[in-house]
Structure formats: structure tokens, C-alpha cells
Amino acid sequence: MSKPLIQLQEISKSFGENHVLKKLDLTINVGESVALIGGSGTGKSVALKIILGLYHPDSGHVLINGERSKPPFEGFLSQIGMLFQGGALFDSLPVWKNVAFKLLRDRKKYSVGEARKIAEEKLERVGLGSEVADLYPAELSGGMQKRAGLARAIADSPKILFFDEPTTGLDPIRAANISALIREIVDENSATALTVSHDMTCVKQIADKVHFLKGGNIAWSGTETEFEHISEGTIYHFVKGLPDPTEVES
């Protein structure tokens, strides 16, 4: 059996007195689409940023392809695409240069013309016409920025994709469109994906496997089918948006 692509082993991370992650273990295998869900402040985005080397864990190890790695994970980062919650487009660059940012860094492989052509193709792919290519991010709506961010994430057709709250801030129709698009892209590229989300509809559409984060660790794990038929426990209350009887309200 091949080694897991990403493994978090007993990862702990605190911010001051706030212990966000407590000996978190997480495994993502090649070709899997995994969703990390949980309430606000449970450390989903922190776990994602630790995988990307943007945060250093207080203790524990990150294994990439079975090997212990220390940030910056340069080789790993060259193979990934990442969609940030707010799009995180660069204000000083037009949309097409944002999308082609990685391609323009590799001038031996792509000329400016080729990079622009690919950027326009990717913009079309996410439902933005080439007419937005020369606009600046500030001229786009929030939803359009998110789609441009998605175009940037898939610009060089990466095999590993990360999505941080891909549907937050979008209306239900756009959210459904983005979720469907992400699923399509993941399947098309046979990519490995990790999605952090609050949106249960999005999770059901995107993920093969779901992990529920609570109290700094994984409280529930299961396949998408098991997730669909969940009928009890804390995760049931979370998914249904019901108050959890096991939690004492402070």
C-alpha cells in the first residue's frame, strides 16, 4: 500500500492560553477528497495552515509522502493549489496576472502570452469571462473574487488542492455552483483535496471522507455515505444545526 500523502501526527498548537489543537492525528491518502468540519474556532484552518507550513506546530510532526518535513515545504508547495477564504488576490495585479502568477514565475516553461492564454481558459472554466482578465481584484464582487481565486488555484492543474471555506459569503446558488465545480475539478485531475468548511451541502458534494474536529482533535470520522446517514451524537447536532445537549452553555 502506498504511503499517505499527508499525515499529521500528534500536532498541538496554542495561541497564548488558547489550546487550539491537542495532539491531532490526521491522514490524507493520495486521490482522496477529505473535508474537515467543525465549529468556529475549533482549529480547522489552523490545521490547514500547519499542513501548508504557514504555522509551526508547538509539538508533533507533519509527514509529506511519509517523510517528516519542516517548513517551508518548498517541493510540496510547488505541487499544490490553494483557494483562500477571501480569495486573497493580489490587489496590485490585474486578474489574469493573479491567475497566472505561478506560471509567470516559471518563464522557462511559459511565455507571457501562453500564461495569459491559460489564465483566460481557467477564468472561463470557473465561469468568469475573459473580459474580467484586465480588471483589478477591487473591481470584482466577492463571489467573482472567489472564483478568480479558484482559477488561480487550478492554473497549473495541480494534483493536490486545498480549499478554505470555499462557499462562505456566497449566495446558495453560487455556493452550489462552486461546490459542483470543485468536485468536477478534483475528479478531472484525479486530485487529492482537503476542504475546510462549515457548509454541509458543500461538504456532501465535495468530500469522500469527513473528519469532525472538536476540542482540538478529531471527534468523528467517516465516509461521505456514513456522514449522510448520521443520526446521533455531537456531529448529528452540528450537522443539523441543533444545540448539543452534551455541551453546557457558558
Nearer to other proteins, 47 or 235 (CB): 47
Nearer to other proteins, 89 or 185 (CB): 89
Q: Does 78 bind other proteins (CB under 8 A)?
A: yes
- Specify the 3-state DSSP secondary structure of 213: strand
Q: Does 150 bind other proteins (CB under 8 A)?
A: no
Residue 105 in grid coordinates: 514565475
Choices 57-65, 85-93, 214-222, 232-240 (CB under 8 A): range interacting with other proteins: 85-93
Non-local CB neighbours of 106 within 8 Å, separated by 6+ positions: none
- Considering only residues 18, 25, 90, 201, which one is a binding residue for other proteins as defined by CB under 8 A? 90
Q: Does 159 bind other proteins (CB under 8 A)?
A: no
- Considering only residues 41, 66, 72, 215, which one is a binding residue for other proteins as defined by CB under 8 A? 72
Residue 179 in grid coordinates: 461546490
DSSP letters of 122-183? HHHHTT--GGGTTS-GGGS-HHHHHHHHHHHHTTT--SEEEEESTTTTS-HHHHHHHHHHHH
Q: Does 85 bind other proteins (CB under 8 A)?
A: yes
Q: Does 105 bind other proteins (CB under 8 A)?
A: yes
Residue pair 163/194 in contact by the 8 Å Cβ criterion: yes
Nearer to other proteins, 149 or 205 (CB): 149
| Interaction mask 166-195, other proteins, x per CB under 8 A | ------------------------------
Q: Are strands 217-223 and 18-28 parallel, antiparallel or unpaired?
A: unpaired
Task: Give the shortest CB-86-to-other proteins separation in angstroms.
Answer: 6
Task: Give the shortest CB-104-to-other proteins separation in angstroms.
Answer: 10
Residues 37-56 that bind other proteins (CB under 8 A): 49, 52-54
CB atoms within 10 A of CB 19: 14
Residue pair 169/146 in contact by the 8 Å Cβ criterion: yes
Non-local CB neighbours of 78 within 8 Å, separated by 6+ positions: none
Task: Give the shortest CB-88-to-other proteins separation in angstroms.
Answer: 4
Residue type at 151 in one-letter notation: A
Residues forming the site for other proteins (CB under 8 A): 49, 52-54, 72, 74, 77-78, 80, 82, 84-86, 88-92, 101-102, 105, 152, 162
